[in-house]
Amino acid sequence: MVDRSVAVLKFTLSVALAVALASTSVLATRADLARARALFNQRQFGPAIEAALAAQKTPATMDAATVVLALAHLERYRERADPADLSAARTALGTVRVANLDARDHIDFQLALGEALFFEDDYGAAALLFESGLDGAIAHGPVAAEAMLDWWGSAVERHADSLGREARISAFTRLRDRMTEELAKNPGSAAAGYWVAVATRGAGDPAAAWDAAIAGWVRARLASGRSATLRADLDKLMLEGIIPDRVRLLAPDRRAQAESDLRADWAVVKERWK
């Protein structure tokens, strides 16, 4: 009887130890996952990849970690243009079990799929994928929303370069209308503030694009941490795109003066609304 009690006690202790070790392992990999995400947000992609690989070792965090791993490879590809990173990202995305992802990880997964297509120059497909993820990203919060809106705008712009005039105008009109809708809901969206001006220009209305860029410059005060970047992007768009478009149809002998006048007007706007 004593021997049996000792055996039962040993078994119970063994089970308890196994549970404790398993719990410790899960906690460790969750810490690795959190670390991978933090490093990714700090744009330390090499260390983020290492942490994500560690977090893949436990089933509870494996799929979320794989999404972070793919995103880190994609962003490193954007920096280095090393095909190995793009290949690694594609391979990682192919192993993700989507049913195991929570809402935010699902958004990141869609974002990663779209980025992979974008970097493979499949801009039309990427645009459709990003667009399909907009509602979920916007519902999740401003960080996810801004990322999805920015990528969608970039994909539409690249895709439009390959289209005929009518299809190009149609693509930019669709982009303009959706970005206008987003600004009505969230005037502080830097992504929508920039892309509505780009899309208005692309839709063939440089005068309205001028107004959109000025509105975006003034509205940038609402964009918090992205204000400076938004204004820099709008300034480049105005000087290199919108103003040249506005004078292009003028008689050749009038273009230089008209462009100079518009540049001066734009400088006044920037000075008044610092």
* pLDDT in 10s for each residue of the chain, 274 residues: 445 444 433 444 444 434 433 444 455 578 889 999 999 999 999 999 999 999 999 999 999 999 999 999 999 999 999 999 999 999 999 999 999 999 999 999 999 999 999 999 999 999 999 999 999 999 999 999 999 999 999 999 999 999 999 999 999 999 999 999 999 999 999 999 999 999 999 999 999 999 999 999 999 999 989 999 999 999 999 999 999 999 999 999 999 999 999 999 999 999 999 9
Domain boundaries, the chain: 1-120
Whole-number pLDDT of residue 2 = 41
Whole-number pLDDT of residue 29 = 72
Burial (Cβ within 10 Å: 0-12, 13-18, ≥19) of residue 264: exposed
Crossing angle (nearest 10°) for helices 83-93 and 59-80: 150
For 219, other C-beta atoms within 10 Å of its C-beta total: 21
Whole-number pLDDT of residue 21 = 36
Task: Report pTM.
Answer: 0.87
Tokens, residue 108: 């990141």
Whole-number pLDDT of residue 199 = 99
Q: Is 216:234 a contact under the CB 8 Å cutoff?
A: yes
Where do runs of H (alpha helix) occur along 120-141? 123-132, 134-140
